[in-house]
Every structure is written in C-alpha cells, then in structure tokens.
Amino acid sequence: MSTTEKVRINKEIRAAELRVIGAQGENLGVLSFADALKAAQAVELDLIEISPNAVPPVAKIMDYGKFQYEQKKKESAARAKAKVSETKEVQIKVGTGENDMRLKAKKAAEWLADGHRVRMELFLKGRYKGMEEAFLKARLEKFMLLIPYPYRIAEPITKAPKGFAAILERDPKAATNASAPKPATVEVNPEQ
C-alpha cells in the first residue's frame, strides 16, 4: 500500500466486520467495527485498515504515526532496490593510445559493476573510414579484452553510422564470482 492511497483509520473505516490484528501482532479474529474500535481505544492506539480489499477487510491496532513511518521506510527500500540501468558510452579512435584505452576500459568496468550496459564505439573519420574492416573490428576487440570485469556481449560488433560499435552488459553468472574477474574471451588475429 503506497502513501498515495488514502488509508482509512478509526471512524473512516466503512466495513461492518474486520479481521483485526492486535498491537503485539496477535490475531484477534473477526470483530464488528464497533468492537474493533473499542479494542483500539482501550489501548489508546488507532485502528488502521491495512488491507481494504480482503474479505473481510484487515485492520491493525497500532499508532498511526508509526504506521506512516514504516510505510515510508518500505517505499524507500523498494526505490533503493529498483536500480535504474542506463546505456553508457565509451568512444575510442584508431589512434587512441594504450594508456588511454586502459583508462576507458577501467571506466567501462565500473559501469558494468554498477549494472549499466556499455556501448563501445570505434569512431572513424576521414581516411580511417577506408581502412580494412577486419583491422577495425580487431581494434575494438582489443579494447574489449582490456575490460577487467566479467561481461557478455549483448550486441556484437556491427557497422555504426560513425564507425563500429558493440554493446556489453554485466554477465550475471560471472559477476557472482567477481572475486577474480576475467574478461570474456574474444579471438584477435595476432597478424594485425
């Protein structure tokens, strides 16, 4: 039940009978609305309808402020678990140096560890567009081998508008044993 839904308490409850849960979590059984309200007033707490769609509706005897606090706590925990995944992008060029490639590979590994997808792009301009396709793909594969985090290839290397691109995502099987991360194996032709 989210805080956007109106929670009925005490005299706002419309049901004639309620299944009542006591202040210590004990089941008081099915009571008439009047008896349930008297039981709540006897311990100086509120009668809160926690499950209005049940038959009969379920109500709990507790402090309404505490109930609101617990609901907000549950919602924030749910929001924290629902992590938003994005596609991050790493761009390299044919002339990108070895050290720069290692830095970009490290950043890609961080994004993979955070659960994001990584789109790697080999950016080509000018004369590089006319280079042999196998050499360009091998350059991108070489970069993939530098990524120090277990991944799987979501979309293989394909021709993109600005060059060649591939998309990687975290490998859930290998990420569980990430104590000794190993990159995915990609065959690279050593003659190039």
My answer on whether 69 and 128 are in the same domain is: no
Looking at residue 126, which CATH number applies to its domain? 3.30.110.10
My answer on whether 114 and 172 are in the same domain is: yes
- Say yes or no to pLDDT of 91 above 80: yes
My answer on whether 70 and 114 are in the same domain is: no
Residue 134 domain boundaries: 87-176
Please, are residues 147 and 116 in contact by the beta-carbon 8 Å criterion? no
Average pLDDT over residues 112-118: 88
Per the structure, the count of domains in the chain is 2
My answer on whether 101 and 67 are in the same domain is: no
Q: Looking at residue 106, what is its pLDDT? A: 94
Cα–Cα distance, 83 to 5 (Å, whole number): 24
- Single pTM value for the model: 0.49
My answer on whether 120 and 144 are in the same domain is: yes
My answer on whether 69 and 91 are in the same domain is: no
Q: Looking at residue 72, what is its pLDDT? A: 92
Cα–Cα distance, 74 to 68 (Å, whole number): 10
My answer on whether 26 and 99 are in the same domain is: no
Taking Cα atoms as reference points, which of 76, 78, 56 lies closest to residue 68? 76
Cα–Cα distances in angstroms (integers) from residue 30 to residues 2, 27, 39, 78, 91, in the given order: 25, 9, 12, 31, 65
pLDDT tens-digit map of 13-62: 888 999 999 988 899 999 999 999 999 999 999 999 998 888 889 999 99
Average pLDDT over residues 129-157: 89
Q: What is the DSSP letter of 9?
A: B
In a domain? residue 25? yes
My answer on whether 158 and 92 are in the same domain is: yes
Q: Looking at residue 181, what is its pLDDT? A: 47
Looking at residue 17, which CATH number applies to its domain? 3.10.20.80
CA 180, 184, 189, 192 torsion: positive or negative?
A: negative
My answer on whether 69 and 116 are in the same domain is: no
In a domain? residue 183? no
Cα–Cα distance, 33 to 13 (Å, whole number): 8
In a domain? residue 50? yes
